[in-house]
Structure 1
Amino acid sequence: MISIGLTGGIGSGKSTVAGFFEELGIPIYYADDRAKSLMVENQELIASIKALLGDQAYTDDGRLNRAYIASQVFSDAELLESLNALVHPAVGKDFSTWAQAQHSPYVIKEAAILFENGSYTRSDATILVTAPENIRLQRVMNRDGASEEAVRARMQHQWPDEQKIPLADYVIENIDLEATRKQVISLHEQLISLKK
């Protein structure tokens, strides 16, 4: 099974690109969504998170205490790294199981920090979705109702495109939706030919 990593900075439109691939029948594994699910479903992971952050990491009804976790890890880079070191292997294992169950020429793993956490090395190829910073800022401010300062603070946790582009096998520039769709169709045809 050919495994393709799909990533892009906040507001780049990687979910939009993933949706275009889905329209072409390609299964998409949304790593960030699965991570959130595994953090409340996987008992081994739950125990490890509680050992790292304390029982307060979960509410009484077993949900993630997101506010508490954010207050702990976003002001402590070492703690964030420790949390990621627990979550990322669990996601990697879950992705492998999921990928084996798919029946398509290739599968896509969509993840926000594919390059930053090194998981791109476990993909057969990577796609980076880019857009100019001013467009990305505007998209996220409109989508989340967030201030420019809040969006820029979130961007600080991700590498800039200039750092990611040399590591990517394919780059899709997402400014105009129709142009982006054409890039996806063209890339899909290339990826299918890899399987032959």
Structure 2
Amino acid sequence: MTNRCFVLGLTGSIGMGKSTTAQMFRDLGVPVWDADQAVAVLYGPDGGALAALAAIDPSFVRQGIADRDAMKQAISGDSVVLAAIEEAVHPLVRASRVGFLKENRTAGLVVLDIPLLFETGAEDQVDAVLVVTAPEDVQYDRVMARGTMTPDMFKAIRAKQLPDDEKRQRADYVIETLTLEGTKADVTSLVKELRAKHA
């Protein structure tokens, strides 16, 4: 790593409590870069990805923002479209991450919140990986409780993600997110450990 700070990659499958855990790091004063949020900015008003998306297909931009439904529909019918979108968006996401790391290079510890960290090979961009996990039934209940997902949709998303047990095996740190209190205690302990080692 070229950064003076220690870069911790945070990942976990859908419904494992990753977003909640990321907020706990923020609450402890640790800068967090969120890959999903970076994409949301690129896809939003005046977003850096809009011109490239419109060049792929004009229907991908509607009313000044990216039309995710149009993109999903196009991707489902043509795998070449997904490759084109990724080729356009990934460098912009990478630039966002690099900018974040430069801005926070003296922070001592930073977190990169990357849902598909292992799937995209992003473990090469971090010093260590933290995987958040929960039992399968807890994961299912959490996702269904959102009210925006069907069992089939959940199954399809899980199929695209590395199995939880494999993620845990490849992680440097694992935190089980069964309770907020337990998760917060584990995050606090990890932050203290990493700051002590890499301050």
User: Does the pair score TM above 0.5?
Assistant: yes
Q: 2: distance between equivalents of 1:112 and 1:46?
A: 22
Q: What is the CA distance between 1:42 and its match in structure 2? A: 4.6
Is the 2:7–2:110 Cα contact (8 Å) retained in structure 1?
A: yes
Q: Conserved in 2, the CA contact under 8 Å of 1:27 and 1:108?
A: yes
Q: Which moved more, 1:84-93 or 1:128-137?
A: 84-93
SS of equivalent to 2:10: strand
Residues 176 and 121 of structure 1: is their aligned pair in 2 closer, same or farther, counting only changes over 3 Å? same
Q: Is the 8 A contact 1:39 1:87 kept in 2?
A: no
> What root-mean-square deviation, in Å, do the aligned CA atoms of Structure 1 and Structure 2 show?
1.8
Whether the 8 Å contact between 2:22 and 2:32 is mirrored in structure 1 is yes
Q: Which moved more, 1:61-70 or 1:79-88?
A: 79-88
Q: Does 1:20 align with 2:31?
A: no
1:34 and 1:14 map into 2 onto residues whose CA distance is 16
Q: Are 1:171 and 2:174 matched, yes or no? A: yes
Q: Secondary structure at the match of 1:109?
A: strand
Cα deviation per residue 1:16-42 (whole Å; 9 max; x = unaligned)? Answer: 111111111111111111112113445
Q: Which runs of 4+ in 1 moved over 4 A?
A: 74-78
Structure 2-normalised TM-score?
0.88
**Partner residue of 1:139?**
142
What amino acid maps onto 1:153 in structure 2?
A
Decide which of 25, 28, 36 is 1:32's aligned counterpart: 36
Q: Are residues 108 and 150 of structure 1, via their aligned partners in 2, closer, same or farther at CA, if it must alter by over 3 Å?
A: same
Contact 2:53 2:61 in 1 (8 A): no
Q: CA deviation at 1:77?
A: 4.5
Identity of matched residues, %: 32
- TM-score w.r.t. length of structure 1: 0.89
Match for residue 91 of structure 1? Answer: 93
Which of 54, 75, 89 pairs up with 1:50?
54
Q: How many Å separate the matches in 2 of 1:115 and 1:123?
A: 11
Kindly provide the CA deviation profile for residues 93-140 of structure 1, in whole angstroms up to 9, marking residues without a partner as x.
Answer: 111112221252211111211111111211111111111121111101
CA–CA separation in structure 2 for the residues paired with 1:169 and 1:136: 21
**1:50 Cα deviation after fit:** 2.8
Distance 2:36 2:196 in 1: 29
Structure 2 counterpart of 1:62: 64
User: Which of 148, 172, 180 pairs up with 2:151?
Assistant: 148
The unaligned stretches of length 5 or more in structure 2 are none
Q: Deviation per CA, 1:42-98: give whole Å up to 9, x if none.
A: 54x33332333x111000x21111111111224545533442333222112111112
1:187 to 181, 190, 195: 190
Q: Residue 75 and residue 180 in structure 1: after superposition, are their counterparts in 2 closer, same or farther (change >3 A)?
A: farther
Question: Is residue 134 of structure 2 the alignment partner of residue 111 of structure 1?
Answer: no
Contact map agreement 2:132 2:176 (CA 8 A) in 1: yes
Aligned length: 193
